[in-house]
Each structure stands twice: as C-alpha cells, then as structure tokens.
Amino acid sequence: MVKSILFVCLGNICRSPLAEGIARKIAKERGLDILIDSAGTSNYHIGEPPDSRSVAVAYQNGVDISMLRGRQISKSDSKFDLIVAMDRQNQINIARLKLENRLVMMGEFGLDGVDIPDPYYGDSKDFKRVYDMLTKAINVMFDEIA
Ligand code: 4NP
C-alpha cells in the first residue's frame, strides 16, 4: 500500500504543484491518509510560488496551491513510496539520481502513457488541459494503488 507520493516535473511551479494540490483534494475526499509532495528536477525556481496560471486554474476548481514553494528533488526524497514523473525526460533525469523508490509516469494512469505537456510557454488553455489530464490520471492512480 502506497503511503507517500512525490510528483516531479522540471520547474516545480506548473505541473507538479498542480498535481500535488489535486491529489491532496482527491485523497481527502476519498478518506486516504497519504503524504503528498512535489519537487522539480531543475534548480530554476527554488523557493518560488507556483506559476500564477497554475494557481488560477487550481483556484477555479476549489484547490489552493498558492502556499506551495518550489524545491529540487534530492537524495532525501528516497523516503517516498512512489515518485510520479510528469514526462519522459523528467523520468530519465530522476532515474539518473539512482534513488531506491518506485518510479512511474503520470500518464501511465489512464492516459495511454503520454507526457503531461509542459504548459510554461503556453496559455491558460494549456494549463486547463494539464489540470484535466492530472485530475483523470490521479483518480485512476488512486483507484489502482490506494
Ligand atoms: P513545470 O514547468 O516543469 O511544469 O514546472 C516549467 C517551469 C519552468 C520552466 C520550464 C518548465 N523553465 O524553463 O523555467
């Protein structure tokens, strides 16, 4: 049984904080006691709040992620039962760290293995698309693992 999950993207300001907020909401609704966190593979946005477009789409759907702050994945993240990469490139970069955790891709859950597309250079429609993909995948993930 999975008791802790770490969502990981590149910057930890667009996709993975959104995944963290959505997962916390769904876990609460389902009465699941799971530790949920997020991190980035890069050091680009350490200490920064999530991108305002991620904060906005989350807020429109009843999820507050404004208090989250960017951090970089590190060896100490070995404590998580499961690491969920947002795309193939980040999965490769996480695997290089040689942590002991089980490592999967978000898209493996109900999305035919696709990458969660990086919305950073996109617009609010791209963030909504990411929100919808994450909501579907996280529901399927909890059906399968929790
Ligand atoms: P994320 O999006 O990996 O979903 O947080 C990005 C955020 C920042 C950058 C790239 C992607 N960046 O190049 O700064």
Instruction: Give me the residue spans of the domains in the chain.
Output: 4-145
CB 50 within 8 A of CB 18: yes
Tokens 């590190």 belong to 74
Q: Cα of 39 to ligand 1 centre, how many Å? A: 11
d(CA 13, CA 103): 20
User: Is residue 117 pLDDT above 80, yes or no?
Assistant: yes
pTM flag (> 0.95): yes
Q: CATH homologous superfamily for 4-145?
A: Response regulator (3.40.50.2300)
pLDDT tens for each residue of 44-94: 999 999 999 999 999 999 999 999 999 999 999 999 999 999 999 999 999
pLDDT tens for each residue of 63-73: 999 999 999 99
Q: What mean pLDDT is reported for the chain?
A: 97
Residue 37's nearest CA partner among 1, 80, 74 is 80
Helix (H) or strand (E) holding 63: none
Alpha-carbon Rg for the chain in angstroms: 14
Tokens 């609460």 belong to 28
Instruction: Tell me which of 9, 54, 72 to substitute to probe ligand 1's pocket, judged by most ligand atoms within 8 Å of the beta carbon.
Output: 9
DSSP state at residue 17: H
Share of the chain above pLDDT 90, in %: 98
Atom of ligand 1 nearest to the CA of 130: 4
Instruction: Tell me which of 10, 115, 121, 126 to substitute to probe ligand 1's pocket, judged by most ligand atoms within 8 Å of the beta carbon.
Output: 10
Q: Cα of 4 to ligand 1 centre, how many Å? A: 24
Check residue 62 and give its pLDDT: 97
CA distances from 27 to 19, 57, 71, 100 (A): 12, 19, 22, 24
3-state secondary structure 90-138: HHHHHHCCCCCCEEEEHHHCCCCCCCCCCCCCCCHHHHHHHHHHHHHHH
Catalytic residues: 9, 15, 118
Of the pLDDT bands very low, low, confident and very high (cuts 50, 70, 90), residue 146 is confident
